[in-house]
C-alpha cells in the first residue's frame, strides 16, 4: 500500500469546476488517497458550469492536508477578498507537502502570500497579474518550483495532475493513470492558446471576460495593494 | 441570443465523474444553456473520484431534453441492469436532438437499445462490448453517426464536447470555448492509448479493472442476452 495522502481542494462560489474535477479525477487514482472539497460552510457551492458542488468539509474541519489544491474561475477575485479563505490557505500550506493551483487559483495562492519568489503558471488571460503578488508568471502548462506546483488554464489541470502523480507515485503509476483515463487528446481545433487561436477569437474572449467581470485586472491590482504587496 | 438548449446528464453510482464534468464544462459555454444532473432519486451520488455529485432532478422530473449525455465508469454495469434507468434513457432519447455518451456510457445507450446499427466510441478497455448491443465499435476519440455522438474514454469527453459545440453553435464558437478553457493539451507522458502505453501498462490496467469489477465483460454479455440482443 503506498503512503496515505490527504488532498484538500478549496471550493468557492463561481469556481471553474473543471479546474477541480479534472485534477480530482487524476489524483484520486494515486492510490490510498482521501480527498476533501473544503469551503467556508457546508452549503452547496455554485460553479460556473450550471451545477453546484457540495463541500465535504469546512475550513475549521480541515486544518491540514498533504496536498493543497486551489482551482480558479470567475469567483477567484471575490475569494481573494475573503480573509477567512486566505487564512485557511496559509494555515494548510504551512504544513502541506505540496501547495498547488490550477488556472487563476494561483492568484489566490498569491494573495495569501504563498508565491513570493516562486515561479507559477496561471490561465493565459490573467497570467501577468501574478507579478503583483511577487510571483514570476510562467507561460507553461505545468510549473514546478520547490513544493509549489501549478497548472495553466482549466484543462491544464489534467496535465498538472499527471505530472504531480509522477512526482509522488512515480512515472510508471502516472502512465497507468493516463491510460485508464484514455488521455490521448485530439482537440478538434487548434485554438487552445492565444497564439494559436488568432486575434479575433482572443478579442472575443477578452470581451466575454470583461462582460462577466468588468475591470477585473484593476480589481486584482487593488487587492494586491491593499494586502501590502 | 442563440437557441435555448437543455442538457440532461445521467448520474448513477460509481460514475467516472470526469466523463460528466469535462463535457459539462465545455457544453455549459455554448450560451443559453440549462443543465440537469438526473438520477433515480435526489440522494447524493458516489463517484469514482472520492466525492459525491448531487442530482439536480429525478427521472420523473426530466422527461425530455435537447441533449442527452450519458457518462460511464465502473457503475455502468449496475446501471445497465436497472430497468428504470434504461426506460428513462429511451424516453429522453426518443425526442432529443442529440443522443450522446462518453466512455462506457455508450454501453448504457446500447443496453437501452439506442445504438442498434449505429457506429459508436467507447473506452478502449470495453469498446468491443458494443457489438453485443448491435452497435459498431469505432476506435476514434469522437464519433458522429446521425444524431448519436460519442466520445472515447474519460478525457475524450472534452474533445467530444468541443466537436458537439461546433456542430450546434458553429466552429467559431467552439474555438472560442477551447481558448477559454486553454485546451492546448500537453500530456507529460505518451501513455494515453493501449497502442502507446506498452504491454506492461496495459496489463496493469486490465488487472486493476478485473480487481474492481471481476468478470465484467461476461456480466455485460449476460445483460445483452437477457435484454434480447
Provide ipTM, 2 decimals: 0.97
Catalytic residues of B: 103
| Residue from A185, A160, A170, A159 nearest A30 by CA | A170
| Residue from A8, B21, B91, B109 nearest B120 by CA | B109
- Which residues does chain B have within 8 Å of residue A208's beta carbon, measured at their own beta carbons? 176, 180
Confidence band for A213, pLDDT divided at 50, 70 and 90: confident
How many angstroms separate the CA of residue A64 from the nearest CA in chain B? Answer: 18
CA distance A11 to A180: 26
Residues in chain B: 229
Q: Residue A79: how many CA atoms within 13 Å on its side-chain side?
A: 29
CB–CB contacts below 8 A, A to B: 219
As to burial, measured by CB atoms within 10 angstroms (0-12 exposed, 13-18 middle, 19+ buried), residue A44 is middle
Work out the average pLDDT over A184-204: 96
Q: In chain A, pLDDT over 70 holds for what percent of residues? A: 100
Nearest to B49 among A25, A154, A179 (CB): A25
How many angstroms separate the CA of residue B228 from the nearest CA in chain A? Answer: 31
Among A49, A188, A203, A204, the residue to mutate for chain B (most B Cβ within 10 A): A188
C-alpha B104, offset from chain centre: 6
CA distance A157 to A165: 12
- Which residues does chain A have within 8 Å of residue B2's beta carbon, measured at their own beta carbons? none
- What does the pLDDT profile of chain B (229 residues) look like in tens digits? 899 999 999 999 999 999 999 999 999 999 999 999 999 999 999 999 999 999 999 999 999 999 999 999 999 999 999 999 999 999 999 999 999 999 999 999 999 999 999 999 999 999 999 999 999 999 999 999 999 999 999 999 999 999 999 999 999 999 999 999 999 999 999 999 999 999 999 999 999 999 988 999 999 999 999 999 9
Residues 6 or more apart in contact with residue A133 via CB below 8 angstroms: A107, A110, A111, A113, A115, A116, A224, A229
- Asked if the Cβ–Cβ distance from A187 to B153 is below 8 Å, we say no
Cβ-contact B225, B217 below 8 angstroms: no
- Asked if the Cβ–Cβ distance from B188 to A196 is below 8 Å, we say no
Q: What is the pLDDT of residue B112?
A: 98
Work out the average pLDDT over A76-101: 98
DSSP readout, A62-92? Answer: -S--SEEEE--STTHHHHHT-HHHHHHHHHH
Q: What is the pLDDT of residue A212?
A: 86
How many angstroms separate the CA of residue B6 from the nearest CA in chain A? Answer: 11
**The three three-digit cell numbers of residue B31, written as one number:** 450560451
How many angstroms separate the CA of residue B189 from the nearest CA in chain A? Answer: 7
Question: Please, what is the angle between helix A17-27 and helix A156-169, to 10°?
Answer: 30
| Residue from B122, B165, B134 nearest B16 by CA | B122
For residue A22, pLDDT over 90 is answered with yes
Alpha helices in chain A (DSSP H): 17-27, 76-80, 83-95, 105-111, 156-169, 171-180, 194-197, 199-212, 216-226
- Asked if the Cβ–Cβ distance from A182 to B152 is below 8 Å, we say yes
As to burial, measured by CB atoms within 10 angstroms (0-12 exposed, 13-18 middle, 19+ buried), residue A15 is buried
Angle in degrees, CA B128, A18, B65, rounded to 5: 65
Q: Residue B170: how many CA atoms within 13 Å on its side-chain side?
A: 6
**The three three-digit cell numbers of residue A229, written as one number:** 504587496
Q: What is the pLDDT of residue B213?
A: 87
Output the CATH code of domain B5-226.
Answer: 3.40.50.880
Per DSSP, what are the bridge partners of residue B150?
B101, B143
- Asked if the Cβ–Cβ distance from A182 to B154 is below 8 Å, we say yes
Is-above-0.95 flag for pTM?
yes
Count CB atoms within 10 A of the CB of residue A34. Answer: 14
- Which residues does chain A have within 8 Å of residue B188's beta carbon, measured at their own beta carbons? 142, 159, 162-163, 166, 174
For residue A221, pLDDT over 90 is answered with yes
- Which residues does chain B have within 8 Å of residue A141's beta carbon, measured at their own beta carbons? 184, 186
- Asked if the Cβ–Cβ distance from A184 to B171 is below 8 Å, we say no
Query: What backbone torsions phi and psi does residue A155 show, to the nearest 5 degrees?
Result: -65, -20
Amino acid at each position: 500500500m503506498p503512503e496515505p495522502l490527504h488532498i484538500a481542494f478549496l471550493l468557492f462560489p463561481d469556481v471553474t469546476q473543471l479546474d477541480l474535477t479534472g485534477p480530482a479525477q487524476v489524483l484520486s487514482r494515486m492510490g490510498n488517497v482521501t480527498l476533501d472539497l473544503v469551503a467556508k460552510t457546508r452549503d452547496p457551492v455554485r460553479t460556473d458550469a450550471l451545477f453546484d458542488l457540495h463541500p465535504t468539509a469546512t475550513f475549521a474541519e480541515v486544518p491540514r492536508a498533504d496536498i493543497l489544491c486551489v482551482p480558479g474561475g470567475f469567483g477567484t477575485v471575490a475569494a481573494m477578498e475573503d480573509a477567512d479563505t486566505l487564512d485557511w490557505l496559509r494555515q494548510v500550506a504551512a504544513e502541506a507537502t505540496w501547495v498547488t493551483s490550477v488556472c487563476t487559483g494561483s492568484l489566490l495562492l498569491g494573495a495569501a502570500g504563498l508565491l513570493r519568489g516562486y515561479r507559477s503558471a496561471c490561465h493565459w488571460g490573467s497570467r501577468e497579474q501574478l507579478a503583483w503578488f511577487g510571483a514570476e508568471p510562467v507561460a507553461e502548462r505545468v510549473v514546478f518550483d520547490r513544493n509549489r506546483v501549478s497548472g495553466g488554464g482549466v484543462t491544464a489541470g489534467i496535465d498538472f495532475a499527471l505530472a504531480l502523480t509522477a512526482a509522488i507515485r512515480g512515472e510508471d503509476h502516472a502512465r497507468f493513470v493516463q491510460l485508464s483515463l484514455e488521455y490521448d487528446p485530439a482537440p478538434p481545433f487548434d485554438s487552445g492558446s492565444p497564439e494559436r487561436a488568432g486575434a479575433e477569437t482572443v478579442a472575443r474572449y477578452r470581451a466575454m471576460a470583461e462582460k462577466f467581470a468588468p475591470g477585473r485586472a484593476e480589481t486584482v491590482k487593488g487587492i494586491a495593494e491593499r494586502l501590502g504587496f
